[in-house]
Amino acid sequence: MPTTDPDKDLTAALGRIPSGLFVVSIKHGKQETAMLASWIQQCSFEPPMVSLAVNAKRWFFDWLKPGAQLSISILGEGQKDILSHFGKGFDAGQPAFDGIDVQRQTNRAATLTAAHAVLHGTVSATHDTGDHVLVMAHVESGAVQHEGRPAVHVRRSGSHY
């Protein structure tokens, strides 16, 4: 129901755009980290590509340059323990995967063993888009690891997480 406040109506409507829930892992030399993300979308069939929006203030943003490897763990319904773990964020040097079962491959960022599905890709471009940066990644491989449904997230407001 519309209110008398157009700004409140706008943010309520924006918040209703459904998204998935993902853990994006990034490897930079021998360092690695991960972040919880919800703004990821397939954006090309050929070549297969995804776009993700990353807050430009993230400490690891300089790792997300063209050529950087990233992995996306697509969370399944009910994985609240993983949401809690990655939702808190991690400081530089703080281990992101302590207590989490992960799969590591040479020259690839880690993926979560419990994830519904996983994708591996390479950053191809970035674009400033306001308070977030749009990261485009070419997807080279992926797999569904567990049957079920992916998690879907709907925010109450389109003005904050």
CATH code of the domain containing 143: 2.30.110.10
How many folded domains does the chain comprise?
1
Is residue 137 one of the residues assigned to a domain?
yes
Q: What is the mean pLDDT of residues 32-53?
A: 96
Identify the domain containing residue 71 by its residue range: 19-153
Is residue 11 one of the residues assigned to a domain?
no
Q: What is the mean pLDDT of the chain?
A: 94
Could you report the per-residue pLDDT of 118-139, keeping only the tens digit for each?
999 999 999 999 899 999 999 9
Spell out the residues 6+ positions from residue 40 whose beta carbon is closer than 8 angstroms to its own.
19, 20, 22, 24, 50, 51, 52, 53, 72
Tokens of 57: 């203030």
Is residue 73 one of the residues assigned to a domain?
yes
Alpha helix (H) ranges present in 55-95? 80-87
Tokens of 18: 């459904």
3-state secondary structure (DSSP) of residue 131: coil
Confidence class for position 62, pLDDT limits 50, 70, 90: confident
Is residue 52 one of the residues assigned to a domain?
yes
Question: Which H or E run includes 60?
Answer: none
Confidence class for position 65, pLDDT limits 50, 70, 90: very high
Q: Are 83 and 107 in contact (CB under 8 A)?
A: no
Is residue 9 one of the residues assigned to a domain?
no
